[in-house]
């Protein structure tokens, strides 16, 4: 598989990851548990289709572990946003994800074969630039809308505190029994916990491909392992679905079967899951062509550029000269870093 194919896959993956939350942004996700499960259903459906297209390759249980790790990391997203905000949360988990994924491929951690770029210095410089770009993106202060264009953590808290509908057929089904994370915590402790969860999430995201690549690097230890990484997608997605379903069942028990369900968010949630599934498939292809040392700095950080474009032209959240100036600089640095990482192959 050519490097050009890998770079195209990186571009597709970045575009879809950067757009995946657009369908659900206009709808209140509550505590996020139901929305994540709906996304997992769509992800599994795509996995089944891809599995059929690949003529039903041998199921690899170890590959499920990568999906389970991603799902566990994703469970922390809403609490993180409520504790330290979206910008800081994405900065921390995105940076940790980028560095862990890059280091895993570059130095061969967890039993993987190391992948050394042809131009190591260029690779290091590109990595540094995309991390700096991510830091600059976190300095942008979006304008919060009051017209239903999107929900912030404050919107979620107010609606959860005031919502009293509990009739089947209403827009919101069930009054959540779980309070907004961190409401009664001291500010310093809440920030520390949010940062800790962000680091944990980034580490989990960063190792999500390790099981698949480990199987590819140690084929003699497994039964009929497929050659192409995309053939492991179904096993990977099964891990996501089973973990998300298990977490949702625990959540139902904890809330005494009173989940926070916004019926209007179901179809958008399915579409968001579809976007994520296609983005992850593209990342599998990119890893085969380029290795994690190349793909992680690009795909873990460039989606921030795509998301910012949506924020400017569709949601109109980013306004003001200062924000546009920071955005322009961050975009130029991030894209330059991504190009350097790409050519370092």
Condensed to tens digits (0 to 9), the pLDDT of residues 77-118 reads: 878 877 877 667 777 888 888 889 899 988 999 999 998 888
- 207 bridge partner residues: none
Across the chain, where does the E strand assignment appear? 172-173, 261-262
- 316/149 Cα distance (integer angstroms): 9
Crossing angle of helices 77-84 and 153-162, in 10° steps, is 100
Residues 6+ apart with CB under 8 A from 113: 217
Region class of 169: left (phi > 0), else alpha (psi between -120 and 50), else beta: left
Residue among 122, 45, 54 at smallest CA distance from 284: 54
pLDDT at position 181, please? Answer: 52
pLDDT at position 253, please? Answer: 95
- 342/338 Cα distance (integer angstroms): 6
- 204/50 Cα distance (integer angstroms): 24
- 312/318 Cα distance (integer angstroms): 5
pLDDT at position 68, please? Answer: 97
Query: Distance from first CA to last CA of the chain, Å, rounded?
Result: 13
Please report which residue ranges of 163-232 form alpha helices under DSSP H. 187-206, 210-217
Q: Which two tokens stand for residue 202?
A: 């980034």
- In which residue ranges of the chain is pLDDT below 70? 1, 86-87, 142-184
Decide: 217 and 110 in contact? Cβ < 8 Å.
Answer: no
The secondary element (H helix, E strand) that includes residue 71 is helix 61-75
- 37/245 Cα distance (integer angstroms): 6
Q: Which two tokens stand for residue 337?
A: 């870093």
| DSSP string of 154-166, one letter each residue | HHHHHHHHH----
N residues, the chain: 345
Rounded to two decimals, what is the model's pTM? Answer: 0.83
Q: How many other C-beta atoms can be found within 10 angstroms of the C-beta atom of residue 168?
A: 7
pLDDT digits (tens, 9 = 90+) for 211-227: 999 999 999 999 889 98
The secondary element (H helix, E strand) that includes residue 292 is helix 292-299
- 89/83 Cα distance (integer angstroms): 9
Q: Which two tokens stand for residue 206?
A: 């960063």
Q: Taking CA 258 as the corner, what is the angle to CA 255 and CA 264, rounded to the nearest 5 degrees? A: 130
């Amino acid at each position: 598989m050519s490097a050009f194919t890998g770079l195209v896959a990186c571009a597709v993956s970045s575009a879809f990851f950067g757009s995946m939350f657009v369908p659900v942004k206009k709808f209140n996700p509550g505590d996020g548990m139901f929305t994540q499960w709906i996304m997992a259903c769509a992800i599994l459906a795509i996995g089944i289709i891809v599995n059929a297209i690949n003529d039903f390759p041998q199921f690899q249980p170890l590959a499920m572990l990568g999906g389970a790790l991603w799902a566990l990391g994703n469970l922390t997203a809403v609490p993180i946003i409520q504790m330290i905000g979206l910008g800081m949360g994405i900065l921390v988990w995105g940076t940790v994800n980028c560095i862990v994924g890059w280091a895993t491929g570059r130095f061969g951690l967890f039993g993987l074969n190391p992948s050394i770029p042809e131009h190591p210095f260029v690779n290091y410089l590109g990595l540094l630039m995309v991390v700096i770009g991510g830091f600059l993106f976190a300095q942008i202060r979006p304008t919060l809308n009051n017209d239903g264009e999107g929900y912030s953590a404050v919107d979620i808290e107010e609606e959860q505190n005031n919502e009293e509908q509990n009739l089947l057929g209403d827009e919101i089904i069930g009054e959540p029994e779980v309070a907004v994370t961190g409401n009664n915590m001291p500010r310093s402790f809440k920030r520390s916990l949010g940062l800790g969860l962000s680091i944990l999430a980034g580490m989990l995201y960063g190792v999500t491909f390790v099981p698949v690549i480990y199987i590819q690097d140690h084929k003699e230890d497994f039964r009929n392992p497929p050659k192409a990484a995309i053939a492991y997608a179904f096993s990977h997605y099964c891990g996501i679905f089973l973990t998300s379903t298990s977490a949702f069942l625990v959540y139902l028990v904890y809330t005494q079967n009173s989940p926070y369900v916004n019926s209007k968010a179901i179809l958008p949630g399915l579409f968001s899951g579809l976007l994520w599934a296609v983005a992850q498939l593209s990342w599998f292809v990119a890893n085969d062509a380029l290795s994690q040392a190349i793909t992680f700095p690009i795909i873990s950080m460039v989606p921030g550029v795509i998301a910012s474009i949506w924020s400017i032209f569709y949601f109109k959240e980013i306004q003001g000269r200062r924000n546009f100036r920071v955005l322009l600089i961050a975009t130029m640095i991030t894209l330059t870093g991504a190009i350097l990482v790409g050519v370092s192959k």
